[in-house]
Amino acid sequence: MPKINWDDSFSVGNDDIDRQHKKWIRIFNALHDAILNNDLTPYRTITIRALEDMLNYAKIHFSFEEKYMAGIGYPDVVAHRRLHKDFDTQIYQYYRDAQDGNAVLNTKIIKMVRNWLVQHIMIEDMKYKLFVQQRG
Ligand SMILES: [Fe+2]
Ligand SMILES: [Fe+2]
């Protein structure tokens, strides 16, 4: 399972949000290492911390992005916010499982988070870029 490398195809046309997505991808790559390099001794601690970082940063990013979308008059903020909320709920579940010690922390989680991040930015976030472009 490869890490994610940000390139210009990820750009949503707003510098602040691009910077946040880059940081978020770095956090994902750290989670990737934490889960896949399971020869590390403090494996569980590192994984919990990586999930915590993911949750915390997602919260900051989502709230910024939702304000941005509202500010530009993007019409589908409610649906977009629901996608953010679903992600938050899913990651929080993984986080709690990890804390309880009964988690299945493996490539499945990494695959889900990776696919979600890439598809969310490339498909859902791109919709507001298009909205701004079409509005002119
Ligand atoms: Fe985003
Ligand atoms: Fe988003």
Residue 111's nearest CA partner among 55, 31, 23 is 31
What is the spatial distance between Cα 68 and Cα 36, in angstroms, rounded to a whole number? 35
pTM value > 0.85: yes
**Number of neighbours of residue 78 by Cβ within 10 angstroms:** 9
The number of C-alpha atoms within 13 Å of 83 and in the hemisphere containing its C-beta is 14
Rounded to the nearest angstrom, the distance between the alpha carbon of 84 and the centre of ligand 2 is: 6
Rounded to the nearest angstrom, the distance between the alpha carbon of 21 and the centre of ligand 2 is: 10
Rounded to the nearest angstrom, the distance between the alpha carbon of 121 and the centre of ligand 1 is: 6
Reported as a pLDDT band with limits 50, 70 and 90, residue 90 is very high
- Percent of the chain topping pLDDT 70: 92
- Tell me the three state secondary structure of residue 132: helix
Which ligand neighbours the alpha carbon of 57 most closely?
A: 1
Question: Which residue has tokens 């949750």?
Answer: 55
When the pLDDT of each residue in the chain is averaged and rounded to a whole number, the result is 90
- Percent of the chain topping pLDDT 90: 68
Judge whether residue 39 has pLDDT over 60. Answer: no
Give me the pLDDT at residue 46, please.
76
Rounded to the nearest angstrom, the distance between the alpha carbon of 21 and the centre of ligand 1 is: 6
Reported as a pLDDT band with limits 50, 70 and 90, residue 48 is confident
Judge whether residue 109 has pLDDT over 90. Answer: no
Give me the sign of the Cα torsion angle 86, 88, 92, 94: positive
Rounded to the nearest angstrom, the distance between the alpha carbon of 17 and the centre of ligand 1 is: 7
Tokens read off for 82? 């629901």
Which ligand neighbours the alpha carbon of 60 most closely?
A: 1
Rounded to the nearest angstrom, the distance between the alpha carbon of 101 and the centre of ligand 1 is: 30
Which ligand neighbours the alpha carbon of 74 most closely?
A: 2
Rounded to the nearest angstrom, the distance between the alpha carbon of 65 and the centre of ligand 2 is: 6
Mean pLDDT computed over 26-34: 89
